[in-house]
Chain A
């Protein structure tokens, strides 16, 4: 039996929404090309990829679960320390270290996710903030393990899977970070386009209605929060593995604030926001730190204030591309062109 036209149309629409867009392909080709085209910028590129992963992980909870977090550095920092300690004491093989660090950060995420289920935005803000301060303080106090204020140094990283050695220019490092970022994005993309992801959006957009559709939000928020922590842990581990050093700075408050800015720069709630934000942020910082090395913080602040006052929506790249598309006559997927296609 062939499905009715309406049903075919519905399936086609849903398929098209989840399909990879040309812009996405373009982005990844550019990112890969950069590994070979910009040999002197590999360290900066790795930095961008790590920050992008970190911001994407924040997007999962801010953009999809609607939880305002001011303490996301907790998971990043735990991942970074875990990777450092693992390579010092267990194995210097980076992939094993990466996966274990992600798992450790994920466990922390799972344990603390129950704290963000209740209360207002403010309560969640405070809880996430508090947890990150607590962990930062713990890392600072447990100097026997973490090196205290001096951090962890002397970390040696073996070749990836015994095959690819980290080179001096950071090309292997960048390709490694990029691969992890890409894999993370593919997985996140699948999840947000699955029914699970749709239900998260529903909970965030209108929790009253979501409850009246029979969606019990708590378990789903726990799952996404944990996943987000795993991603942040990955990002932290990548930082440790590409720089061979862990400083207590990985847990600092400004890192939580920075990543929020990165995400907001790129736009919340469509996964690529973190990636785009990371590019803008890192390039901006590289440039500003040449112009005014000391007062970089002032300019971040100014960007934040301006961003909010102008209206985040208006300068959100997702909106901009949609706007460009309508201007160039390539309308966003809608029923009309689809109908033609099916006819």
Chain B
């Protein structure tokens, strides 16, 4: 089966510093794949390479078998890639509804509509309201985003990515910074993501990784250090040494 997302010998250098060193990943469609590693292992760099924020020094990136190494970030989105950010990247003075109509409208190709009002796009509005409902944001959808509690903003962060109906979803520490009482809400949403979406989770929180992932890749110092099922990785003494030991 063609992998949903694949990297071949991905390398990124900054000057003399190699931050991503020969990383080859192959993630099957529908997988719940976690990417873990200690601080400075190069997780964020990989996300940036995958989404096109950075260009790799060498190596290829493929989505559904199609080479997207040279594609611009927005072209990758059109190919089915979506991401959330570790630090919320929201439109502070728009309402969640507007942000969501924007995201849905872009996917439907309505974004270049020049003359028809937003409200006339009932398809986008309906779908946006639907997703907001699903993400428990319907109550606050008409309030400015900047005033929302952090947990709600975090949900919107994920909802915006889901609104794109991605094939591959990159979640960058989805629960980071969420207060304890709102945490279960975020985790439930992450757990209930549609099963046909391939999810790559970058996470620090081991409980979340072990409860969510079916496969884990361990990064250390820019290299792919180990890869395997949750059981294999949690038993691997070397992983424990570099990662768990380090985190403890």
Residues of A near any B CB (own CB < 8 A): 3-4, 6-7, 9-11, 13-15, 17-18, 190-191, 193-196, 198-199, 201-202, 205-206, 208-209, 211-217, 219-220, 223, 333-335, 338
The answer for the CA separation of A11 and B143 in the assembled complex, in Å, is 15
Given A7-B125, A14-B119, A196 and B114 contact (CB-CB distance below 8 Å): yes
Of B6-14, B16-24, B101-109, the one contacting chain A is: B101-109
| Nearest Cβ on chain A to B51's Cβ, whole angstroms | 7
B92 contacts the other chain (CB 8 A) = yes
CB-CB under 8 A from A219, the residues of chain B are 112
Task: Please determine whether B129 and A195 come into contact, CB atoms closer than 8 angstroms.
Answer: no
CB-CB under 8 A from A202, the residues of chain B are 91, 94, 99, 102
The answer for the CA separation of A206 and B126 in the assembled complex, in Å, is 25
Task: Please determine whether A194 and B106 come into contact, CB atoms closer than 8 angstroms.
Answer: no
The answer for the CA separation of A198 and B128 in the assembled complex, in Å, is 15
CB-CB under 8 A from B122, the residues of chain A are 3, 7, 11
Task: Please determine whether B128 and A10 come into contact, CB atoms closer than 8 angstroms.
Answer: yes
B242 contacts the other chain (CB 8 A) = no
6 more contacts with CB within 8 A, not counting A10-B125, A195-B112, are A14-B119, A15-B119, A195-B101, A195-B110, A212-B51, A216-B74
The answer for the CA separation of A6 and B82 in the assembled complex, in Å, is 26
Task: Please determine whether A9 and B77 come into contact, CB atoms closer than 8 angstroms.
Answer: no
| Majority secondary structure of chain B interface residues (helix, strand, loop or mixed) | helix
With beta carbons under 8 angstroms apart, the residue of B85, B128, B130, B133 that contacts A209 is B85
The answer for the CA separation of A3 and B89 in the assembled complex, in Å, is 31
CB-CB under 8 A from B111, the residues of chain A are 195-196, 199, 215
Task: Please determine whether B129 and A7 come into contact, CB atoms closer than 8 angstroms.
Answer: yes
B203 contacts the other chain (CB 8 A) = no
The answer for the CA separation of A7 and B89 in the assembled complex, in Å, is 25
Interface string of B148-186 (1 = CB under 8 A from A): 000000000000110010000000000000000000000
CB-CB under 8 A from B77, the residues of chain A are 211-214
B226 contacts the other chain (CB 8 A) = no
